[in-house]
Amino acid sequence: MANPWFTPAFFRFLTELRENNTREWFQDNRSRYEEDVRDPLLAFILAFGEPLSGVSRHFLADPRPSGGSMFRIFRDTRFSRDKSPYKTNVGAQFRHGACSRDVHSPGFYLHLEPGGCFASAGLWRPDAAALKAVRDRIVGHPREWKAIRGAGVEVLGESLVRVPQGFDAAHPLAEDLKLKDFYTHQPLTQKEICAGDFLEAYTEICRRNAPLQKFLAKALGLPW
């Protein structure tokens, strides 16, 4: 079965953009970007809405070209030494409906980049209040947290050197309490993404990560 969303042309454009990251080149190839990259990703987001509701009805697949699940391809260069105007990857984040405009809220993520594709789920760079709420829930519900770990969900993130203030340094889950992020990472190949069953495969990845998302949502007082 042919993939109706992602094709070699999708990744070919991003590869060429990496080699020609200028406004002039992009404007000359804007129609290719729209036809080979933007529109296929928006179509995938639209198609993912129904399967996502089967994982949790509170997470959204928003196919709007601006302000929806798809990230902008334009880079924010204001505070960066790298003044390249465009990202050489595209991504989509499927966030909780209660905080759908916050990239630091719980969400499922799809990252598409030549040679560096992956799926992820969880909480990235939460603010101090959200981070404490997750740590409090780990302490208050250790069996639930251990069950997530025991089910093979590998939780990643940057880590503090020491257990944060207010938590027991000798706690059995001390290493998890040091985490500053709580997310998963599943590498994907371009062949997998261009396969006809990618929608089903990505949905299954999200389903496997659902226990972590449920734990994080509960920690933040969000419905699951």
Q: What is the pLDDT of residues 166-219, one digit of tens each?
A: 999 999 999 999 999 999 999 999 999 999 999 999 999 999 999 999 999 999
In which element (H, E) is residue 170 found?
none
Predicted confidence at residue 98, as pLDDT, reads 87
Predicted confidence at residue 181, as pLDDT, reads 96
What order of strands is seen across the sheet that includes strand 117-123? Answer: 90-95, 107-112, 117-123, 182-188
Write down all domains in the chain, each with its CATH number in brackets. Answer: 8-219 (3.30.930.20)
Predicted confidence at residue 81, as pLDDT, reads 86
Q: Is 221 left (phi over 0), alpha (psi -120 to 50) or beta?
A: left
CA distance 184 to 173: 18
Spell out, as residue ranges, where the chain has pLDDT lower than 50: none
CA distance 28 to 35: 13
DSSP class of residue 74 equals B
Predicted confidence at residue 215, as pLDDT, reads 97
CA distance 82 to 58: 37
* Contact yes or no for 124/103 (Cβ under 8 A): yes
CA distance 199 to 193: 9
Predicted confidence at residue 139, as pLDDT, reads 98
Average pLDDT score, the chain:
95
Predicted confidence at residue 100, as pLDDT, reads 65
pTM of the model: 0.94
Helix (H, G, I), strand (E, B) or coil at 120: strand
